[in-house]
Copies of this chain bind each other. A is one copy, B any other.
């Protein structure tokens, strides 16, 4: 029986849900609401246009509006959903009034955490998200001499790299002692930070934001920090992501300790016929079930597909997450999965560590890059509980692999004895993952 599936949100989760609802039953009526002028563009590409790695914003549009019409997906642009009545199964839409649904998917995404200091309303504060806004900001960047990035979050790292690459004097402030302080270990962050220094970036660690300073005309002239003032013409506010949960909370949908909407393994919320997906949710971590929020666009998309499929009458489960991650920062790629040493230490989780520094191709082959791998395992069983890497090549593929390895309960023994491709232009005699695992096994023997 065909359903009317209404989706609030036109980001990765919302569009994944729209596709999922159609996949469950092509006869389903699918309506997507978004506050933005567009769907189906890649916000993830914005930092690279700013950094001039990508020539223009047009490239970031993935599909034109007609393709959604053709797919039978009714997208309502620049249209805000004001409230949800889960009892009556209706939403109130700006300019449309009441709209009923059979199934609702909440995919309202994330906001940058409010920095909670004075001056947040000034001009010159850039929250990177909407592509139309980014196009305007890109023109502004041509006039910027000196910029401050607030927080070494994933987006912060991308924006530091981009602005430095563009030739802007770039300062980074962050309350932690190193980049991605909650996710990444200091030995992994170190090469990135060295490369930023080479690129002319000034890093201010252990530094809290205290306020945005007004130039007297309502525009930012600098930031106040726990370590003094930094003058600048532009601030990129790259604080942590928080769930944009207001709409769901007002409707009485249950949120968890992170502020994310709580979902079950089918992405169902506490409310009848209401699903949620993407950055508005919290998701249990595969190791121990700790709730996580603010995952990645690929998680949002995959969750959206599951939520939409179920909302459309299908039946598909979503798994716990181990969150492989990876990115380019400075002159390096960094990445990993699940726990690093800092996180394991902070959580009091005992662990054995195996490390190796290897190479991505034969030592003599042009383009060869360093690849450093660190593996964490549970003492005794040597079951993998996390990995961190920094290198010049092949980090994303290794992070994906190790994500599956953690999920499937593979051990250091499994990785220590793995076979590997050796071919001078594409792989070295010794795979760094295997060597790190061998070293971890040896370390565990010593400890035992």
Taking beta carbons and an 8 Å cutoff, which residues of A are in contact with B? 12, 42, 44-45, 48, 53-54, 59-60, 62, 296-299, 301-302, 318-319, 321-328, 333, 335, 362-366, 394-401, 403-405, 407-408, 410, 414-415, 417-427, 429-431, 433
Contacts and interface: CB of A to CB of B under 8 A. Distances in A.
A441 to B, nearest CB: 11
A417 B48 contact: no
Contacts of A42: 362, 364, 424, 429
Contacts of A366: 53-54
Pick the 6 closest A-B CB pairs, nearest first: A397-B397, A59-B364, A298-B422, A401-B401, A396-B427, A326-B421
A53 B365 contact: yes
A420 B45 contact: no
Nearest to A431: B400
A407 B400 CA distance: 17
A44 B424 contact: yes
A404 B397 contact: no
Contact of A327 (B44, B405, B426): B426
Residue of A327, A401, A425, A433 with most chain B CB atoms under a 10 A cut-off: A425
A60 B44 CA distance: 41
A297 B365 contact: no
A414 B421 contact: no
25 contacts: A42-B424, A44-B422, A45-B362, A45-B365, A54-B364, A54-B365, A54-B366, A59-B364, A62-B363, A297-B422, A297-B429, A301-B430, A319-B417, A321-B419, A327-B423, A327-B426, A328-B425, A333-B426, A335-B421, A394-B396, A395-B426, A396-B427, A397-B427, A400-B401, A400-B421
Contacts of A44: 362, 422-424
A38 to B, nearest CB: 15
A193 to B, nearest CB: 19
Given A45-B362, A394-B394, A408-B410, A400 B419 contact: yes
Q: Which of A363, A420, A431 has the largest number of chain B CB atoms within 10 A?
A: A420
Nearest to A405: B404
A12 B429 contact: yes
Given A42-B429, A400-B418, 12 more contacts: A42-B424, A45-B424, A54-B365, A54-B366, A298-B430, A298-B431, A299-B419, A301-B422, A328-B425, A394-B394, A397-B397, A408-B414
A298 B421 contact: yes
A6 B394 CA distance: 38
B421 A324 contact: yes
A401 B324 CA distance: 14
Most B CB within 10 A of own CB, among A297, A322, A418: A418
Contacts of A60: 364
A417 B403 CA distance: 11
Contact of A427 (B326, B425, B431): B326
A228 to B, nearest CB: 34
A48 B421 contact: no
A223 to B, nearest CB: 28
Contacts of A324: 419-421
Contacts of A405: 404
Nearest to A423: B327
Contacts of A407: 414, 418-419
Contacts of A417: 318-319
A398 B397 contact: yes
A408 B415 CA distance: 11
Contacts of A365: 45, 48, 53-54
Contacts of A302: 419
Nearest to A319: B417
A423 B326 contact: yes
A397 B325 CA distance: 16
A400 B365 CA distance: 20
A428 to B, nearest CB: 9
B404 A418 contact: yes
